[in-house]
């Protein structure tokens, strides 16, 4: 990842999710690190070609996918508390193939349809790290997502509170390339069942 490049953070009040005015930044160098918190992507006009790291929270799932399409060099993406589609950008009918994205983090996404939609919309052949904390766990969509990039995953981290351990073991059987596995539980952990 590029280090030391320009960082841009845009944040709007949670009380006014659509009250943000348009932001334009056409100067060089363009940002390499972008954080959007409750700011619709349609209001952001920047150069996307240098972006390598992005974090998005409280915005529509269609906007997340649109950012991935716009940023050809994106290497790391964090999606947190994603909302249903804002219907501003089209949801793709085929998977977006993004060859540079090697780390994705899904946090606090409780809606199964949104998690499934994200997984079904992406093919990430260079993915090495997947972090899945407090997000819905649609096993079939996750397995299909893994098959899309032939399971080159090296690091998998997950919070397993409230997740059926059969689903966890069902997913792990498809991750033969893993070098690092982290399963977090803050309540009861079925250790014996998982280890067996």
Topology annotation, domain 7-195 = 3.80.10
Q: Is 29 exposed, middle or buried (0-12, 13-18, 19+ CB in 10 A)?
A: exposed
- For the segment 52-64, what is each residue's pLDDT rounded down to a tens digit? 999 999 999 999 9
Task: Provide the pLDDT for residue 1.
Answer: 39
E strand spans, 31-154: 33-37, 44-46, 53-57, 76-80, 96-97, 103-107, 122-123, 129-133
Task: Provide the pLDDT for residue 165.
Answer: 77
Q: What's the CA gap between 43 and 46, in Å, rounded?
A: 10
pTM for this model (two decimals): 0.87
- Best CA proximity match to 175, nearest among 158, 189, 156: 156
- For the segment 71-125, what is each residue's pLDDT rounded down to a tens digit? 999 999 999 999 999 899 998 889 999 999 999 999 999 888 899 999 999 999 9
Q: What's the CA gap between 19 and 16, in Å, rounded?
A: 5
- For the segment 9-18, what is each residue's pLDDT rounded down to a tens digit? 988 865 444 5
Residue 130: pLDDT over 70:
yes
């Amino acid at each position: 990842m590029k280090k030391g490049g320009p960082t841009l953070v845009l944040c709007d009040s949670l009380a006014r999710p659509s009250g943000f005015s348009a932001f334009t930044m056409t100067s060089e160098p363009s940002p390499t690190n972008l954080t959007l918190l409750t700011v619709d992507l349609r209001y952001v006009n920047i150069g996307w070609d240098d972006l390598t790291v992005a974090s998005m929270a409280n915005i529509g799932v269609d906007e997340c996918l649109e950012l991935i399409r716009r940023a050809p060099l994106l290497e790391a993406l964090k999606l947190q508390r994603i909302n249903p589609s804002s219907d501003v950008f089209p949801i793709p009918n085929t998977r977006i193939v993004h060859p540079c994205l090697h780390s994705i983090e899904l946090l606090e996404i409780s809606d199964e349809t949104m998690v499934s939609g994200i997984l079904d919309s992406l093919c990430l052949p260079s993915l090495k790290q997947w972090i899945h904390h407090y997000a819905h766990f649609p096993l079939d969509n996750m397995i299909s997502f893994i098959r899309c990039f032939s399971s080159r995953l090296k690091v998998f981290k997950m919070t397993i509170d409230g997740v059926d351990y059969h689903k966890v073991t069902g997913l792990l059987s498809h991750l033969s390339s893993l070098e690092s596995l982290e399963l977090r539980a803050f309540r009861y952990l079925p250790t014996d069942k998982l280890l067996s």
